[in-house]
Amino acid sequence: MKPITRRTALVALATLGLAACASLPLNMKPPEVSVSDLRLIDVGLLEQRFGLSLRVLNPNDAEIPVDGLSFTVELNGKPFAKGVSNQTVTVPRLSEAMLEVEAVSSLSGLLRQFGAMAKGQERIDYRIHGTLYTGGLFGGVPFDQKGEVDFADLGVPAGTSRF
């Protein structure tokens, strides 16, 4: 058997690198993923389960097949919940689709957020980031979306205890 030469190894690595980027064609923009809704499903002593509605926006002139995702939700810059889903959906061209997923939070993450809200915090900054798997050979497309929920916009008077 012939030993692998340095040149052969470099060509193989370059080919793998190009294939890893092939989950979307080069001229396509990545889809945008945002949180549309958040619901408490189950509360346990050490963890909580949340239902999330995620909106996947496709800014491209071609459909995007999605066959799963993994994600992390942060609140006020701190990790809050994580989730995965193998749900499939095809996001039509220049359109959007909804994904219903679940995420799990730890007791410490929940208590940290209750503490911040009890101190009179006026808003919650959130971030959802992860990978949207598009059926490509080597993974998917990263996403990262930030936003905020302002309690004044929800009709909660400033300085009012929420609990």
Report the chain (163 residues): mean pLDDT per 10 consecutive residues: 54 46 66 92 92 95 92 91 95 96 84 64 88 77 89 57 43
Amino acid identity of residue 61, one-letter, is D
Q: What is the chain's Cα-based Rg?
A: 20
**φ, ψ for residue 112 (rounded to 5)?**
-60, -40
The pTM (predicted TM-score) of the whole model is 0.71
Q: In the prediction, which pLDDT does 3 show?
A: 58
* Domain made up of 28-152: CATH architecture: Sandwich (2.60)
Whether residue 126 contacts residue 149, with contact meaning beta carbons closer than 8 Å, is answered with: yes
- Residue 32's closest CA among 146, 150, 126? 146
pLDDT of residue 59: 94
Please provide the distance, in angstroms rounded to a whole number, between the alpha carbons at the two ends of the chain. Answer: 71
Domain ranges of the chain: 28-152
- For residue 52, what are the β-bridge partners? 38, 101
Q: What is the pLDDT of residue 9?
A: 46
Q: What pLDDT, on the 0 to 100 scale, is given for residue 18?
A: 44
